[in-house]
Amino acid sequence: MKVHATPIADVKLIEPRVFGDTRGFFMETWQAFKFTEAGINAAFLQDNQSRSTQWTLRGMHLQVEHTQGKLVRVTAGSVFDAVVDLRRRSPTFGRWWGTELNDQNHHMLWVPPGLAHGILITSPTADFLYKCTDVYSPPHERTLAWNDPAVGIEWPLPAGIAPQLSAKDQRGESFADVHKFP
C-alpha cells in the first residue's frame, strides 16, 4: 500500500494494492503491522457502515469525549470526504481538506481524533464503511456546521441543489462555538 500525506497534519490518504482480473478484485483493507509501520497506530473498537442517497451530507461530526480516530472507505458509489482540524496545537488548526473516495479508486482515509469529519454522497447511492478507535457516545457528539463560512468547505454540490441533512446536522455549531481540542 502507499500512504500519502495530506494538507492536514496527521490525516493520511491510503492507496491499497488492488489485485484484479476478469473475476473481480482483491485488496487488503487492514493489517495492524503495515499501518503501524505507516504511522497509523490504531486499535479499533467499532466498525460502522452507512448507505446514503445522492446529495446526502453527513457531518461535520466529532466527539468531545471518547474521541474517535477513523479509517474510512467507500465500497459502492462515490463520496466527497471532508475534514476540519480542531486541534489547537496542530499546525493546520482551523483548516479543511477534502477528497473523493469511491469504489473505483479504493482509497481509504485515516482521520485522527480531534477533527470534524463529514461526507457528501456524489453518486446515486453510496456505501461507506469506517473503523473507529472508540465507541459512539451520543452525549459527547457535536456537529460543526457543514456550511460555516469561517471554515469555507467547498462541497461539490451542483448549483441549485441543497444537501439532505439530518435534524442534528441542520443544527451544527459555528467554528467559533464548536468544541476545540488541545
Q: What is the pLDDT of residues 127-178, one digit of tens each?
A: 999 999 999 999 999 999 999 999 999 999 999 999 999 999 999 999 999 9
Residues 6+ apart with CB under 8 A from 110: 10, 11, 12, 13, 14, 40, 42, 69, 70, 71
Q: Exactly one of 106, 107, 117, 130 is catalytic; which is it?
A: 130
**Active site includes 179?**
no
Helix (H, G, I), strand (E, B) or coil at 34: helix
Domain boundaries, the chain: 2-16+35-152+162-170
**Active site includes 130?**
yes
User: Domain 2-16+35-152+162-170's class?
Assistant: mainly beta
- Distance, in Å, from the CA atom of 161 to the CA atom of 89, rounded to the nearest integer, reads 36
* Cell output for 156: 461539490
Q: What is the pLDDT of residues 55-103, one digit of tens each?
A: 999 999 999 999 999 999 999 999 999 999 999 999 999 999 999 999 9
Q: Exactly one of 4, 61, 107, 179 is catalytic; which is it?
A: 61
Model confidence, pTM: 0.95
Residues 6+ apart with CB under 8 A from 3: 12, 13, 14, 15, 38, 39, 40
